[in-house]
Structures are given as C-alpha cells and as structure tokens.
Amino acid sequence: MQVYPTELKRLPDERLLLIGWSDGQRRTYGYRELRDHCPCATCREKRRQTDQAPAANLLPVLGPGEDQPLEITGMKPVGNYAYSIAFSDGHDTGIFTFELLRELGTLERPGSGTP
Ligand SMILES: [Zn+2]
C-alpha cells in the first residue's frame, strides 16, 4: 500500500520542512538537503559529472546565490505520487516522488517536536 503525505508544514525557525505520512511517520527535511537530491535530469547530470570529475576539480566552489539561505518557495502535488518543489534559487523542475521523500529527511521521534 502506498503511503502519502497527510501533513505539510514549513518550520521557519529550524528552516525545515515537515511531512506527516499516512502511516504515522513524521519526517523533517532540510531545504538544502532536498535541493541537493533534486531528481530532475539537469541535477542528476550535474551530480554524475561531479562524481566523475578528477580529484583536482573536487575543491568546493561557491556559485552565485549559493551563499544565500535557500528557501522552499512552493510545493505542488503532481498526480497522486509526487510533489514538485520550487526553490528560492529559481529551480522548480524537480519532481520528488513520495518514494524519494521517504528515503530523505530525518524521522522525527515520537514525542519530540510540539510540546
Ligand atoms: Zn533539479
């Protein structure tokens, strides 16, 4: 049986996205974590090239805008299996399937969070 989100919340203080799932799980996601796992073809290709780059090119670089705090500016359901997520850096082509979202993020322990 497919699980699906039942709750979607931004936690501005922690800069996290919280998703509650139909099986009772609650997971929190860093905006940057989601951006780094963007499953669109462009980002996949970028990550592939990074993996194959020679060691000399592995020094970290800071591109334009990357020093800005990243935000999620929008999140829309796609069919009944995924969300498309728009980021403040202008990138909005990633389709995050529920399956992928369940692999990412951090499982919130029961009892933590809201007091
Ligand atoms: Zn992407």
Q: Is 101 exposed, middle or buried (0-12, 13-18, 19+ CB in 10 A)?
A: buried
Distance of CA 84 from the midpoint of ligand 1 (Å): 10
pLDDT value of position 22:
97
The reported pLDDT for the residue numbered 114 is: 54
Domains of the chain: which residue ranges? 5-51+71-106
Burial of residue 105 (CB within 10 Å: 0-12, 13-18, 19+) is buried
Instruction: Judge if pTM exceeds 0.85.
Output: no
Distance 32 CA to ligand 1 centre (A): 12
How far apart are the CA of 59 and the centre of ligand 1, in A?
22
CB 100 within 8 A of CB 78: no
Residue 21's alpha-carbon distances to 8, 30, 66, 94, 111, in angstroms, are: 9, 17, 31, 20, 16
Instruction: Tell me the backbone φ, ψ of residue 73, rounded to 5 degrees.
Output: -95, -15
Residues in Cβ contact with 45 at an 8 Å cutoff, skipping those fewer than 6 apart: none
Which CATH number is associated with domain 5-51+71-106? 3.30.2020.30
Q: Give the whole-number percent of the chain exceeding pLDDT 70.
A: 82
Ligand 1 centroid distance, CA of 35 (Å): 7
Q: Quick: pLDDT tens for 68-114.
A: 789 999 999 999 999 999 999 999 999 999 999 999 999 997 665 55
* CB under 5 Å of ion ligand 1: residues: 38, 40, 43, 94
